[in-house]
Amino acid sequence: MYLSNKLSRLFGKFASYEFFYPLQCLINMTYVKIFKINLSEFAPASSYKSLNALFTRALCVNRPINPNPIVLISPCDSLITQLGKSSEGNALQIKGMEYNIEELLGQKLDRELYYINFYLSPKDYHRYHAPCDMEIHEVRYFGGELLPVNLPSLKKNSNLFIRNERVVIFAKTASNKHIYFVAVGALNVGSMVMHFEPKIQTNAKMHNINYTYSTPIQINKGEELGMFKMGSTIVLFMEQMIPDIKINQKVKFAQDIGTYS
């Protein structure tokens, strides 16, 4: 077990512990103040029984979803750290630092893919949603490290997304195009939750696990897929995509980010 995983487990236990109410309020308010969290769309900090409950807070408002089926929406609140089209099977982790997509996804590819990297900071909303209507055919869990995924770490650690623990969702769009939704673990992420597959237990086992579905799981655009137990990264790969966003742009879940065919 990597040291980063052990530290994340310890932090996860602390974050999940329910302290007596006055102390828990103080912990929550301190966290909100340190990270300058805007709770205007969420319940007040004092209502969460643990720090983890605050991390994984649900929205208290409905953000409108664009009904146009070819419009992609952001799956989460995040910072766009990189985007583009793969080249010779590689994608950019950060400018000037490539990694192999086949290694990340755990399968051979016969096509180039478009990609977007979404970085969720500790202050962001930590639930993630479907960027379009999709049929889930397979989900893969890869055990690994839990290194930080912030910008300094992305610049320092090569093959970071491949080295880190991750969950890969393989799906198809309504037009039968391939889509890969990759949730990458990070330091202090006690676990990643996938609502459609409760058997996935992250930061628990180091070996890899695959689940395939003879009858694909239908997920509607905007439907909640799962959550991080703190900030991390999502990498979205699509066979066809025209992004309408820029690197270093902040986006919010349900915001239009481009189109696909």
Each residue's pLDDT tens digit, 227-247 = 987 668 999 999 999 999 999
Instruction: Choose the final residue of a domain: 11, 32, 56.
Output: 56
Instruction: Choose the final residue of a domain: 33, 56, 79.
Output: 56
Residues 162 and 230 reside in one and the same domain: yes
Most confident of 48-62, 151-165, 205-219: 48-62
> Rounded mean pLDDT of 104-109?
95
Most confident of 8-17, 154-163, 206-215, 252-261: 252-261
To the query of whether residue 124 is one of the catalytic residues in this protein, the response is no
Residues 88 and 3 reside in one and the same domain: no
To the query of whether residue 244 is one of the catalytic residues in this protein, the response is no
Bridge partners, 94 (sequence order): 97
- Provide the 8-state DSSP code for 22: H
Catalytic residue among 77, 78, 86, 191: 77
Query: What is the model's pLDDT at position 191?
Result: 77
> Rounded mean pLDDT of 76-100?
94
In a domain, 64, yes or no: no
Query: What is the model's pLDDT at position 204?
Result: 61
What 3-state class would DSSP assign to 214? Answer: strand
Q: What are phi and psi of 109, to 5 degrees?
A: -120, 145
Residues 199 and 163 reside in one and the same domain: yes
Closest CA to 191 of 2, 3, 5, 1: 5
Q: How confident is the model at residue 173 (pLDDT cuts 50, 70, 90)?
A: very high
In a domain, 65, yes or no: no
Residues 91 and 1 reside in one and the same domain: no
Residues 91 and 179 reside in one and the same domain: yes
CATH of the domain at 233: 2.70.70
Residues 113 and 225 reside in one and the same domain: yes
Residues 38 and 89 reside in one and the same domain: no
Q: Which residue has the higher pLDDT, 209 or 7?
A: 209
Which CB contacts under 8 angstroms, 24+ apart, belong to 17-26?
17/50, 18/49, 18/50, 19/50, 24/48, 24/49, 24/50, 24/51
In a domain, 66, yes or no: no
In a domain, 166, yes or no: yes
- pLDDT tens, position by position, 192-219: 889 999 888 776 655 788 999 999 999 9
Residues 29 and 98 reside in one and the same domain: no
Catalytic residue among 124, 126, 129, 191: 129
What 3-state class would DSSP assign to 137? Answer: strand
Residues 165 and 120 reside in one and the same domain: yes
Closest CA to 253 of 42, 15, 47: 42
Q: How confident is the model at residue 147 (pLDDT cuts 50, 70, 90)?
A: confident
Number of domains in the chain: 2
Residues 12 and 116 reside in one and the same domain: no
pTM over 0.85: yes
Residues 13 and 77 reside in one and the same domain: no
Look at residue 102 and tell me whether its pLDDT is greater than 80.
yes
Catalytic residue among 4, 74, 78, 232: 232
> Rounded mean pLDDT of 167-171?
97
In a domain, 209, yes or no: yes
Question: Residue 198 is part of which domain span?
Answer: 71-260
To the query of whether residue 110 is one of the catalytic residues in this protein, the response is no
What is the spatial distance between Cα 199 and Cα 219, in angstroms, rounded to a whole number?
A: 18
* Token digits of residue 167: 């969950």
Bridge partners, 235 (sequence order): 117, 182
Query: What is the model's pLDDT at position 192?
Result: 86
Residues 237 and 112 reside in one and the same domain: yes
Nearest 5°: CA angle at 220, between 130 and 90? Answer: 35
